[in-house]
Amino acid sequence: MSSKQIYQEVILDHCKKPRNWGKIESPTHKAEGINPLCGDHIWVTMNIKDDIVDDIQYEGESCAICMASGSMMTAKVKGKPISEASTLVENFRALTTSPDWDDKDKSLGSLSIFSVIRDLPSRVKCAMLPWHTLTSAMNSEGDISTEGEHDPVPGSGTDKG
């Protein structure tokens, strides 16, 4: 599948009609995610009850890949135990960065389309930002960036100064 197909088939649907778009008022967990190199700036707010993602919303300014990834992510993790959400984060990271990774138990469902991102290293950060921010929100770590120790693909930045 080419990057054009991923835009046509999935991403644009989620960009035009983002799921769970917005910010929860008084969430139990929240985080802000920033990709300083491309200017993506997003927020993930959550209500976690009895270790289950009772509600999750996503909002921000970003490219289409980041926006679709965030929209599909919220749809995927809503109602799931946080342990499962953490596994999904790891699976999504493997999907977008490891050439040989196979989603054997089909845990990611329609998100598997993001495997195309493996061939677009400069866009991995765009796809990963919502998931980093989700992890940050679940751990209540506060703000997160895709640079430094959180860099999913060190040295892949598109703006090297």
Partner 1 sequence: MILSVTFEKTTYAEIPAKFEAGTPPIVAAIGLGEALDYLESVGMDVIEAHEKTLTDYAYQALQTVDGLTFYGTSESKAGVMSFNVKGIHAHDMGTLLNDEGVAVRTGHHCAQPVMERYSVPATTRASFYLYNQTDDIDVLVASIKKVQKIFN
Residues in touch with partner 1 (CB under 8 A): 2-4, 7-8, 12, 37-40, 61-65, 120, 122-123, 126, 158-161
**CB nearer partner 1, residue 22 or residue 39:** 39
Instruction: Residue 143: name the closest of 60, 86, 72 by CA.
Output: 60
Which helix (H) or strand (E) covers residue 47, if one does?
strand 40-49
* Separation of alpha carbons 20 and 70, rounded Å: 9
Quickly list DSSP for 118-155.
GG-GGGHHHHHHHHHHHHHHHHT---EESSGGG-SSTT
Sign of CA dihedral 96, 71, 45, 105: negative
**CB nearer partner 1, residue 93 or residue 125:** 125
CB of 11 to partner 1, least distance (A): 8
CB of 72 to partner 1, least distance (A): 16
In the DSSP assignment, the letter for residue 56 is E
CB of 154 to partner 1, least distance (A): 18
**CB nearer partner 1, residue 12 or residue 52:** 12
CB of 92 to partner 1, least distance (A): 19
**CB nearer partner 1, residue 16 or residue 49:** 16
